Amino acid sequence: MNVQAAHTEAPVAHETRYLKNCWYAAWWSNDLPVGEIKARTILNQPLAFFRSADGVAHAVADRCSHRLAPLSMGKLLANGHLRCCYHGLEFDKDGHCVVNPHTPGVAPNTRLDIPSYPLVEKHGMVWVWLGEAEADVTLVPDYKCFDGADERHMSKRDYLRLEAETSLVVDNLLDLSHIAFLHDGILGDSAKADADIKVENTGDAIVVSRFNTDATIPGIFAEFWPDPPKLVDKGTAIRWTAPSNLLNDTGVWRQGTDRSTGTGFYGAHILTPETDETTHYFFAAVRWNVRTQGETDLRIQKNLNEMRRFAFEMQDAPVIEAQQRRMKAPSAPKPLFLSIDVGPVQYRRILERMLRAEDAPAQG
Ligand code: FES
Ligand SMILES: [Fe+2]
């Protein structure tokens, strides 16, 4: 793709609407232990998450029906009920009010019930469904690259909260051209900004990719391959699927062959809108075709943890957050789009189509 400055019309200003009938990542499974109530806002809705004694995760609205005190400030009782800290109403995992201590012997009015939400646990994450349609477990986003992975070949299942709306973070991830500049020296090289970037639109996914032949092995892979060839082919491809799930595949391999002769890693970037202006950002990486073992694996794991956290927290996040502040400023001009923005423009079109389909009255 030609990356010369080619101003194109920006798409219609983004109006904050969300796909509802889909799964959103709520927690890494490890971060939701038995015995705790954890609060997290998703799509502007405050939710209380907890596990029953059998380990099954549940989510209810994080507000008591009486005076709206957060249930996450209350107690998780041994029988699995949530007890409100303020006046003691108790709710079960389905949001039914099961105890009103102020009317002993009388079943609580069903008007005191609160909403509960379907959860599913898959690929090491807890996913929540906020839509009206029946939750469909076949629609859980595909991160099977994590299933059964050797923990030594995985980076930390990490999390950042960004003061930026989710669409700006997706834009950043689908824009491989920023890597050369913003991550110059650790993930990219600003002297090689004109690499050939391709965008593939399959109708329900966008894949942005970049391949180089005759490359020296990048620093990040120096340890991945103990005895690498002098020159390699290298590539990165990042896939977006709705609503905001991304999977990056990056690696190096023997020149003129395919990736099966090399090594690399998948990087998951899973985004969930917290509010219209903030985002939950879950990320983790898992290596493929691992060519090392023992202490080297542990060193690579540590490097991956630190390098990825540094890149996202100290390089991407400050720019995206500052960009949002500029965009929200009074009389901010409309952003202009360059040819490098094809991926971001195309994913927004797909999402827009899906939002219209979800809004359309059911046929029949
Ligand atoms: S606010 Fe929860 S019982 Fe009163
Ligand atoms: Fe980045």
Three-class SS of the chain: CCCCCCCECCCCCCCCCCCCCCEEEEEEHHHCCCCCCEEEEECCEEEEEEECCCCCEEEEECCCCCCCCCHHHCEECCCCCEECCCCCCEECCCCCEEECCCCCCCCCCHHHCCCEECEEEECCEEEEECCCCCCCHHHCCCCHHHCCCCHHHECCCEEEEECCCHHHHHHHHHCHHHHHHHCECCCECHHHCCCCEEEEECCCEEEEEEEEEEEECCHHHCCCCCCCCCEEEEEEEEEEECCCEEEEEEEEEECCCCHHHCEEEEEEEEEEEEECCEEEEEEEEEEECCCCCHHHHHHHHHHHHHHHHHHHHHHHHHHHHHHHHHHHCCCCCCCCECHHHHHHHHHHHHHHHHHHHHHCCCCC
Expressed in angstroms and rounded, the spacing between residue 51 Cα and the centre of ligand 1 is: 22
Could you tell me the pLDDT band of residue 19, with boundaries at 50, 70 and 90? very high
Q: Is the pLDDT of residue 347 over 60?
A: yes
214-234: average pLDDT? 87
Q: Is the pLDDT of residue 21 over 80?
A: yes
For domain 32-139, give the fold. Answer: Rieske Iron-sulfur Protein (2.102.10)
**Per-residue pLDDT tens over the stretch 284-304:** 999 999 999 999 999 999 999
Q: What residues flank ion ligand 2 with Cβ within 5 A?
A: 316
Q: What is the pLDDT of residue 101?
A: 97
Expressed in angstroms and rounded, the spacing between residue 299 Cα and the centre of ligand 2 is: 23
Least confident of 191-205, 278-292, 314-328: 191-205
Ligand 1 atom showing the smallest separation from residue 84 Cα: 2
Residue with the smallest CA separation from ligand 1 atom 1 is 67
Residue with the smallest CA separation from ligand 1 atom 3 is 87
Ligand 1 atom showing the smallest separation from residue 69 Cα: 1
**Per-residue pLDDT tens over the stretch 159-188:** 999 999 999 999 999 999 898 889 887 777
Expressed in angstroms and rounded, the spacing between residue 63 Cα and the centre of ligand 1 is: 9
Instruction: Find, among 50, 77, 47, the residue nearest to 62 by Cα.
Output: 47
- Measured distance CA(3)–CA(17) in Å, rounded: 31
Residue from 60, 63, 84, 91 to probe ligand 1 pocket by mutation (most atoms less than 8 Å from CB): 84
Q: What is the pLDDT of residue 12?
A: 44
Residue from 85, 89, 90, 112 to probe ligand 1 pocket by mutation (most atoms less than 8 Å from CB): 89
Expressed in angstroms and rounded, the spacing between residue 303 Cα and the centre of ligand 2 is: 17
Half-sphere exposure at residue 95, Cβ-oriented, CA atoms within 13 angstroms: 19
Could you tell me the pLDDT band of residue 3, with boundaries at 50, 70 and 90? very low
> Does domain 144-359 match CATH 3.90.380.10?
yes
Taking the domains of the chain in order of start, what are their residue ranges? 32-139, 144-359
Expressed in angstroms and rounded, the spacing between residue 88 Cα and the centre of ligand 1 is: 6
Mean pLDDT of the chain: 92
Q: What is the pLDDT of residue 36?
A: 97
**Pocket residues for ligand 1 (CB within 6 Å)?**
64, 66-67, 69, 84, 86-89
**Per-residue pLDDT tens over the stretch 30-62:** 999 999 999 999 999 999 999 999 999 999 999
Expressed in angstroms and rounded, the spacing between residue 20 Cα and the centre of ligand 2 is: 27
Q: What is the pLDDT of residue 55?
A: 96
Ligand 1 atom showing the smallest separation from residue 87 Cα: 3
Residue from 65, 66, 99 to probe ligand 1 pocket by mutation (most atoms less than 8 Å from CB): 66
End-to-end alpha carbon distance in the chain? 44
Q: What is the pLDDT of residue 362?
A: 58
Instruction: Find, among 337, 233, 335, the residue nearest to 3 by Cα.
Output: 337
Q: What percent of the chain has pLDDT over 70?
A: 93
